[in-house]
């Protein structure tokens, strides 16, 4: 059992880095796709799939298109930042004294970021529903860009609960350090 957890501990940073890099790539792709669509370069660059799939939203107004894309880019950047903090936790964990103030701070940041992603997802979905109407948002390839708010809000609640347990563990660990 101990060797299995050591193997998982060694592979977890690699998995986290891969997810982080993938999210950074996705956020960058969304940003440049949006930028090219605003500059109208996408006519010659059909490779940019995200902008091409969301062209129906642009028909409802450039201002709405810009706001919606900025919200989506904001969400993807926050997802990458979330994994950045996960990497910070994994890389700095001390297995002898695992409860530290730095760990609690980073766990709390993860909870805050997850809550922000959830709220931003709800705002984005509501905005898209207002622009396109109920039938159009759920149909087509643009549906994959909206939603996911409930999952992140539930994740934030779980992370906040874990943070409270870890805070109590840190208090107990601190008390034991002063015990002779």
- Which tokens hold the place of 32? 């440049």
Q: How many domains does the chain have?
A: 1
- Provide CB contacts within 8 A for 23, sequence distance 6+: 76, 79, 80, 83
Burial per residue of 21-43, b for 16 or more beta-carbon CB atoms within 10 angstroms, e otherwise: eebbebbebbbebbebbeeeebe
Question: How confident is the model at residue 47, as a pLDDT?
Answer: 46
Predicted TM-score (pTM) of the model is 0.79
The pLDDT averaged over each successive group of 10 residues in the chain (180 residues) is 67 89 90 80 50 62 84 92 91 76 86 92 84 57 66 88 84 68
Could you list the residue range(s) of the whole structural domain that residue 32 is in? 2-177
Q: What angle do CA 92, 26, 75 make, to 5 degrees?
A: 75
pLDDT of residue 55: 65
């Amino acid at each position: 059992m101990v060797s299995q957890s050591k193997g998982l501990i060694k592979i977890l940073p690699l998995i986290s880095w891969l997810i982080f890099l993938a999210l950074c790539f996705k956020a960058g792709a969304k940003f440049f796709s949006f930028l090219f669509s605003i500059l109208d370069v996408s006519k010659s660059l059909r490779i940019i799939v995200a902008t091409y799939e969301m062209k129906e939203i642009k028909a409802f107004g450039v201002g709405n298109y810009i706001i919606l894309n900025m919200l989506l880019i904001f969400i993807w950047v926050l997802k990458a930042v979330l994994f950045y903090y996960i990497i910070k936790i994994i890389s700095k964990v001390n297995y002898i004294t695992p409860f530290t103030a730095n760990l609690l701070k980073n766990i709390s940041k993860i909870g805050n970021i997850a809550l922000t992603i959830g709220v931003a997802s709800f705002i984005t979905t509501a905005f898209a529903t207002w622009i396109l109407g109920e039938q159009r948002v759920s149909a087509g390839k643009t549906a994959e860009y909206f939603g996911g708010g409930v999952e992140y809000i539930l994740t934030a609640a779980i992370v906040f609960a874990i943070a409270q347990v870890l805070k109590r563990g840190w208090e107990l660990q601190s008390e034991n350090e002063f015990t002779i």
